[in-house]
Structure 1
Amino acid sequence: MQTFLRGKRVGYWLSEKKMKKLNFLAFADMCRKRGIEVVQLDLSQPLEEQGPLDVIIHKLTDLILEADQNDTQALLLVQRVQDYIDAHPETIVLDPLPAIRTLLDRCKSYQLVHRIEARMQDERICSPPFMVLNSECGPDTLEQIKQHGLTFPFICKTRVAHGTNSHEMAIIFSDEDLKDVKPPCVIQSFINHNAVLYKVFVVGESYTVVERPSLKNFPSGPADRKAIFFNSHNVSKPESSSDLTSRENVEGVSQPPNDDVIRELSRSLRQALRVSLFGIDVIIDNQTGQHAVIDINAFPGYEGVPEFFTDLLNHITSVLQSSSDHSPLPLASPPSAPLTAPVSEERSGTPSQGCSSLLGQESENNSSSSSSSAWILEGDEGLKSQCQRLGCNSAVSPNFQQHCVATIATKASSQ
């Protein structure tokens, strides 16, 4: 039975490319048939004049990155949105800007994933260890990598998780190839997964799992071969077929992700970040059968999700009804307040097979101090680092701003 919500207004801001890719105008028509008025927001004008707004849907990732580079125009537009949100805390935002900033930084999102996994205490989940390189590799880099539980081969990724260059990655097979690593970046242990990637597209409480091609298996340990540079977006296209995605050496465990695990992962991320439109990249370790989260994306393309509009409309209807019933709003953030989530104790004892006990680049001191404090998910708060060379303080550091300039030299195209 369809629910009509006459008088409710939904404002949206998406790039022209994103609107065309999603055919978003068709979604606007669906909303109108339910009595919901849909308004395309003009950020060059005060939002107060375009309100009132019960819901705001957006993908402001490009503008947020440019604002973080102190681009005057982007700062003005993002602040205009934030001012409206602060003035109207009853407006439901899909999704809150602090959460988007967290997802734009792979270091912060990986830290969050590791902490969620520790809280879940589910041996079916084990994401790879990672570390951040903020400067050129030196004599002590290899030792630092070993201390963080990383092994060859490993994946080298840009720190910024959005934009065309965020898909440019490299597989590093030996210390000889460390010279090819260009900081600041994130390095993450490579897990053999039989060349299959599972993209989980989340819309509120609904999610769809789509199978995609991925990188083939490689022998564990250092290897006498050159680094492989690739574009992850091209590798994981539905029709992708190349030597990199070959399944000739498939071995061990080959199974789809467990529905209970995916449901709990998506639920935990929704609660921790207060987001509802995101994607999770999951692989299955072919040796242990464990699930590993290797990336999280804000408002992905939802390619291969035929019911996306239906799921989105149902989600909007649900949150609007909750608002009308004066229920707690799971997605609306208080004005200018940092997002926090409760912290459980870290998993103790011997880690399960194939799982490193190190949580990213956190030091023991940081782990012990975090057990009594809330998770810091606000992008501008920063996070403690183990040392100056290898740290996780990108949100406010010059390195992060330089990285944005280098990787988003031109406006990043929305996914």
Structure 2
Amino acid sequence: DYRQKHPEVTILDPPDAIKHLHNRQSMLQDVADLNLSDCNGKVRVPRQMVITKDSLSIPDQVFEAGLKLPLVAKPLVVDGSAKSHELFLAYDRFSLSELEPPMLLQEFVNHGGILFKIYIIGETIKVVRRFSLPNVSKRELAKVVSVFRFPRVSSAAASADDADLDPGIAELPPRPLLERLARELRHRLVNILVFCFH
């Protein structure tokens, strides 16, 4: 163990503690389990399921789970690589068999094409706006049959902080909600000093 061999080195986030954050499902489950109803806002995780193998069975698994289209497919492993930031938007369930497990499938929620990345470092909370996937209309959903790839949708290069945005979409989450969220996640993710979610 590196820590035992090098006690002089300060390790901010021990590898054992961050394993939990490398799995998108367990990371999102921590957020889904929070009850923040008394904080002037809400945090919600869309309905989701994990696909670990067998691409050809994905359409049936989605049907059995009752997930509604469109679906966002995200790699299950979150490791900072370009592949872990790739998203796919599936308009029909049969096109899902083109995807490569392991992955997390989530019901897509229209959100104005903007998301908030929240970085928590110790007691400091930093929120940045990022461009995200565009809204999907009912007309588009009825006409389009395919899966579309979106590499690095919400990366730093997609910053929306200086863009002229509709205030209804781009308003930052209320401070009490952010503070409570940070406090709850710190409590759940013991031994993690730096983390980010969106």
Shorter-chain TM-score above 0.5? yes
State the secondary structure of the residue aligned to 1:232: coil
- Summarize the Cα distance change of 1:233–1:125 in structure 2 as closer, same or farther, 3 Å threshold: closer
Tell me the CA shift for residue 219 of structure 1. 2.2
- Residue identity in the other structure for 1:280: F
From 109, 125, 144, the counterpart of 2:64: 144
What code does the residue aligned with 1:80 have? Y
Alpha-carbon deviation of 1:153? 0.9
Residue 183 of structure 2: aligned partner: 267
**Greater fraction of residues in strand:** 2
CA distance in 2, matches of 1:173, 1:190: 10
- Cα–Cα, structure 1 residues 223 and 188, in superposed 2: closer, same or farther, change >3 Å? same
Q: 1:125 and 2:48 equivalent?
A: no
- In structure 2, stretches of 5+ residues that fail to align are none
Could you say what secondary structure the match of 2:142 adopts?
coil
Q: Which residue of 2 aligns with 1:153?
A: 70
Structure number with the bigger relative contact order (C-alpha 8 A, sep ≥ 6) is: 2
Q: Which structure has the bigger radius of gyration?
A: 1
Aligned partners of 1:177 and 1:258: how far apart in 2? 39
Q: CA deviation at 1:236?
A: 5.6
Unaligned runs of 5+ in 1: 1-78, 241-246, 282-415
Q: Deviation per CA, 1:187-225, whole angstroms, max 9, x where unpaired?
A: 111111111121212111111111121111112595332
Q: Look up the equivalent residue of 1:260 and give its one-letter code.
A: P
Secondary structure (helix, strand or coil) at the match of 1:268 reads helix
Post-superposition CA distance 1:19-50 (Å, at most 9, x none): xxxxxxxxxxxxxxxxxxxxxxxxxxxxxxxx
One-letter identity of the residue aligned with 1:224 = K
The one of 208, 213, 216 equivalent to 2:126 is 208
SS at match of 1:228: strand
Counterparts of 2:168 and 2:183, CA distance in 1:
26
Number of aligned residues: 184
Please state whether the residue corresponding to 1:193 is helix, strand or coil. Answer: coil
Q: What percentage of residue pairs aligned between the two structures are identical?
A: 26
**1:140 CA drift (Å):** 3.0
Please show how residues 5-154 of structure 1 align to structure 2 within 5 Å.
79-81=1-3, 83-84=4-5, 93-115=11-33, 117=34, 119-122=35-38, 124-136=42-54, 137-138=56-57, 140-146=60-66, 150-154=67-71
Give me the CA root mean square deviation: 2.8
Secondary structure class of the residue paired with 1:267: helix
